[in-house]
Structure 1
């Protein structure tokens, strides 16, 4: 009995610690659940720097009661989308890790897999409104306990983007920020603002579009809308249905991986305001004066640096291009070519930058370019990586005509100007480019350029 008096408190403390350290996993369902259909059930999984790999189940009625939830920290909610097979999103742990690496915050993963897992997409869409009502009540509880809604950030993927919008609208736009990653298009396109995400749903709304011709939403929905690769046909994604499920989801899901890349700060994708992706690819939209000294906005987590300017500008559509895989960002240059062929030449240009063992490639083939004597042809060159201190440049001219005679492009002057950093352009004069042959040379700083 004497021993028990000492052991009992120790055992109770041990049990409490074990309970506190119990990790809650994201709901893992399978295709059978989706066929049967699931009713809405929401779990709130808290991650902080103290429990970065261990989800803590929060109470809907008293979410701040858990000691790991700190009122002094900002809070970010991650809300997934439609789950037709019932499996957990494969990016959940990546996004919590990246968010926590950026800031000391409360990250709450909203697990509504029960409700999102359904082969009947219409039922999942119906559940977005129910999920939003549930989470709106939660936000009000947080507010009652001292959480400022202006410090709340909602990251919504696909259907989760519209859930975020419904929450924000119900709270009279007091939510600080909504980030929408390829908001769902089916059953939302053409709907009025109250039935979808729109810029008035939060103090700041930033949106990424990657699949506007299928699963995503085509029109702008935020204060700033980013269209990666024009919003369609993401590089590296399957082009035919024979690739299986990835053919349907790759473009749509790319939005998450682009966002993860931005959070990891592997590289920056600067986006340019433009009326169309075609004009952007033609190099017609590279003026960033309207954004002041910060320049054109960089896609991703840190877009709030441009918040004040964007709120004054109104809705802004921007475009950027990416690589096939991570790191997705590209390095942009303007290339000006003046030729002296007697006749007009039509064709494509491939440029390589060399510095030691590093090499970057830009193939300008989105449309055929026109080269006219003594006329400057301006092209946007997007390189797959950044190569500082360029030592050599290679050029190749092609026409794509297999049966016609081979032509030569006589270049009077080639000038390569970096867009993202202030450096003297590189030039080369009097170059002969036989068709389909790569010509390599050492560039020189352009004499006619003034900072």
Structure 2
């Protein structure tokens, strides 16, 4: 519980005050890198990951096997809106036409999209930690994106769905721009794991005009430091922040934002995760 409370506080500070902690500052006695120097392998060094199917039961997944291309349908990506007045029960939005007429969406307020990662869905704890941290301090529109039909699969398939999910979310934002006068310079995204890379691709599709993106442990397996087109990168929004808590394991090992935070060194968090036979931590 201490970890969740601490992480919630960190989320609140970073989301609500996105530019208050600058580069070259110290966070938990760890210097925040101020360069994009590659200090780790370009790609995830292991040919597999362990997928926890049941508590304590892991399935070894081969990352080298070929996987069919994933076509993401609009109807399979669900988007729910939350505001300070309906914080507990989100209303589902029809993605295909961005129908928000009978919802509390207010284009005069800032707008946030929260995008979950692998093996998560809209009900995941992290989504609601982020949503609550935002709505407790700001009167904004919060959209939680649920792409669990693809995220709740093997990692290879979930990874391959990232571009398709990003395309749908970007199209949704563009529809809100045209029909409801949403402005991208007052819109920000918060993405976790694979959701961080979805956020990056959304930002790129919107010509990097989003106010800011916050990446929470952007996934490392099957992404590379050199291929910035397929992952979150500091060019994807006006300002990009990244929080690393499992860097070099399942999380991206290097600085990829305008500012990157490394709580407790950024690699291992005491009391969190289990260690597999390779010495890697599954968080």
State TM-score, norm by structure 2. Answer: 0.69
Which of 225, 228, 236 pairs up with 1:193?
Answer: 228
- SS of 1:114's equivalent in the other structure is helix
CA–CA distance in structure 2, aligned partners of residues 238 and 123 of structure 1: 23
Which of 75, 83, 93 pairs up with 2:119?
Answer: 83
What are the ranges of 5 or more consecutive residues in structure 1 without an aligned counterpart? 1-30, 250-451
Deviation of 1:196 (Å): 1.0
Deviation of 1:47 (Å): 0.5
Seen in structure 2, the aligned counterparts of structure 1 residues 194 and 39 have a Cα distance that, compared at 3 Å, is closer
- SS of 1:127's equivalent in the other structure is helix
Deviation of 1:111 (Å): 0.5
Which of 79, 85, 101 pairs up with 2:136?
Answer: 101
- SS of 2:215's equivalent in the other structure is strand
Deviation of 1:80 (Å): 0.3
**What corresponds to 1:126 in structure 2?**
160
**What corresponds to 2:192 in structure 1?**
157
- What per-residue deviation string (whole Å, max 9, x for no partner) do you get for residues 126-147 of structure 1? 1000000101111111111211
Poorly superposed stretches of 4+, deviation over 3 Å: 37-40, 238-242
- Which structure features the higher share of strand residues? 1
1:66 matched to 2:138: no
**What corresponds to 2:91 in structure 1?**
56
Write out aligned runs for 1:352-367 (5 A).
none
Count matched residues: 213
**What corresponds to 1:322 in structure 2?**
none
CA–CA distance in structure 1, aligned partners of residues 272 and 123 of structure 2: 21
What are the ranges of 5 or more consecutive residues in structure 2 without an aligned counterpart? 1-52, 62-67
- Contact residue 122 and residue 146 of structure 2 kept, 8 A: no
Deviation of 1:89 (Å): 1.8
1:46 matched to 2:94: no
* Structure (1 or 2) with the larger CA radius of gyration: 1
Seen in structure 2, the aligned counterparts of structure 1 residues 132 and 93 have a Cα distance that, compared at 3 Å, is same
Seen in structure 2, the aligned counterparts of structure 1 residues 226 and 112 have a Cα distance that, compared at 3 Å, is same
- Larger RCO (alpha carbons 8 Å, 6+ apart): 2
Write out aligned runs for 1:34-433 (5 A).
40=72, 41-60=76-95, 61-83=97-119, 88-119=123-154, 121-144=155-178, 145-237=180-272, 240-241=275-276, 248-249=282-283
- Contact residue 122 and residue 145 of structure 2 kept, 8 A: no
